Amino acid sequence: MALINLLDFDLDGLAAYCEGLGEKRFRATQLFRWIHQKGAADFGAMTDLAKSLRDKLAGVAEVRPLPVAAEQASADGTIKWLFDVGGGNAVEAVFIPEDDRGTLCVSSQAGCAVGCRFCSTGHQGFSRNLTTGEILAQLWYAEHHLRARLKLAPGERAITNVVMMGMGEPLQNYGALVPALKVMLDDHGYGLSRRRVTVSTSGVVPMMDRLREDCPVALAVSLHAPNDALRDDLVPLNKKYPLAELMAACMRYLEAAPRDFITFEYCMLDGVNDSDEHARQLLALVHGRGEHRVPCKLNLIPFNPFPESGLLRSPRARVLAFAKILQDAGIVTTVRKTRGDDIDAACGQLAGEVQDRTRAAERMKRLPVRVVAAPADARHKPH
């Protein structure tokens, strides 16, 4: 009989599961804290848990980590892990340390069905949704591995922020996403504030509305184009949920959002979406129309080229000129730092190494756990 993966449960789910074993909710809370706060996977080590419960769990349940297929670590502390999710599929998570925070970029799907032109993951196609346990296993591993690696004091956290900005469109894996978010936010779990957990979406409008109701966290929207014709081409989901609908959904989301702005991501593609005219259209889109004046911050992302895309990075001067038009109009606009294009920094490129479906398992085994002493890109994907 397959063992139940306890990483699949939020606290209510774990309480219901424990109730099925004849245990009270407070026992589930103890168990939950052992798993997520202390990083324990061995029931025998959970010393204040009733022995009867430990014995019951031992035969039927487990805390199932994801095997690490590869690791890339940079001199600046950025670490990218490739996790084996079976069947020749792998997903990536990236830890990005900064002075005042540690951010983990987490994947929600193996591959992605949205198929954005500038995204390495999108070019690999869609394999499958991750389970809640597989989403959380990335955080569980990273947090507890880093605490030991960085020699943090007891109670000190390595990860203060999570961005659902790794491989996949999180809102197309909604059922698994929401319990995972709840564990991140739970005081008995990772205790992160809603402002420090960000879901990044390419614009799945109905699910934005549901997230607003079910679990409002910070929202980032991958815009990448200021008009429907261009966005239809770059982000094909736009054909289903065009910009006017997306902007209206952003306004609705803000009614419940923990932050009073939406972050718009905009990947700068040379000669494609980076002209002064595009900047003015963008301005009109987010700030210019009375009915859709969306409080926002804009994050311009220098594109990380990969061969299949046929696209190039906008020159730095062009990015700055584009930013200036927006800044002059009063929109907070930042340009994301790029670091180390030399370690397959674009999201999905490392995973792409193992996605030869015919010999995937064999290739996965050959991937070393490697340390690259070069600056890594904090950016996981153009989301």
The catalytic residue among 92, 134, 143, 169 is 92
Is the Cβ of residue 114 or residue 192 nearer to ligand SF4 in the bound state?
114
Q: Residue 285's CB: how many other CB atoms inside 10 A?
A: 21
Please answer whether residues 253 and 216 qualify as being in contact, where contact means their C-beta atoms are separated by less than 8 angstroms. Answer: yes
Q: Minimal distance in Å, beta carbon 254 to ligand SF4?
A: 21
What's the rounded Cα separation, in Å, for the pair 249 and 205?
A: 6
The token pair that represents 130 in the structure block: 């991750």
Q: Is 381 among the residues that bind ligand SF4 (CB under 6 A)? A: yes
H helix intervals, the chain:
11-20, 25-36, 51-60, 120-124, 132-149, 174-185, 205-214, 228-234, 243-254, 276-283, 316-328, 349-352, 360-366
Is the Cβ of residue 339 or residue 379 nearer to ligand SF4 in the bound state?
379
Q: Which of 154, 152, 106, 103 is nearest to 130 (CA)?
A: 106
Please answer whether residues 380 and 105 qualify as being in contact, where contact means their C-beta atoms are separated by less than 8 angstroms. Answer: yes
Q: Is 161 among the residues that bind ligand SF4 (CB under 6 A)? A: no
> Does 23 qualify as catalytic in the annotation?
no
Query: Which of 121, 198, 304, 355: binder of ligand SF4 (CB under 6 A)?
Result: 121
Query: Which of 23, 92, 134, 169: binder of ligand SF4 (CB under 6 A)?
Result: 169
What's the rounded Cα separation, in Å, for the pair 143 and 157?
A: 7
Is the Cβ of residue 122 or residue 216 nearer to ligand SF4 in the bound state?
122
Q: Is 119 among the residues that bind ligand SF4 (CB under 6 A)? A: yes
Q: Minimal distance in Å, beta carbon 208 to ligand SF4?
A: 14
Instruction: Compute how many residues bind ligand SF4; rule: CB under 6 A.
Output: 15
Q: Residue 221's CB: how many other CB atoms inside 10 A?
A: 24
Eight-state DSSP code of residue 322? H
Q: Is 114 among the residues that bind ligand SF4 (CB under 6 A)? A: yes
Query: Which of 6, 7, 112, 171: binder of ligand SF4 (CB under 6 A)?
Result: 112
Please answer whether residues 65 and 334 qualify as being in contact, where contact means their C-beta atoms are separated by less than 8 angstroms. Answer: no
The catalytic residue among 18, 112, 267, 347 is 347
Q: Minimal distance in Å, beta carbon 111 to ligand SF4?
A: 8
DSSP string, 134-201: HHHHHHHHHHHHHHHHTTPPTT--S--EEEE-SSS-GGGSHHHHHHHHHHHH-TTTT---GGGEEEEE
Instruction: Map residues 187-226 to x or -, x wherever contact with ligand SF4 holds by CB under 6 A.
Output: ---------------x-------------------x----
Q: Is 336 among the residues that bind ligand SF4 (CB under 6 A)? A: no
Query: Which of 86, 115, 295, 305: binder of ligand SF4 (CB under 6 A)?
Result: 115
> Does 18 qualify as catalytic in the annotation?
no
Q: Minimal distance in Å, beta carbon 64 to ligand SF4?
A: 24
Is the Cβ of residue 122 or residue 302 nearer to ligand SF4 in the bound state?
122
Query: Which of 122, 216, 302, 340: binder of ligand SF4 (CB under 6 A)?
Result: 122
Rule CB under 6 A: which residues touch ligand SF4? 112, 114-116, 119, 121-122, 167-169, 202, 222, 381-383
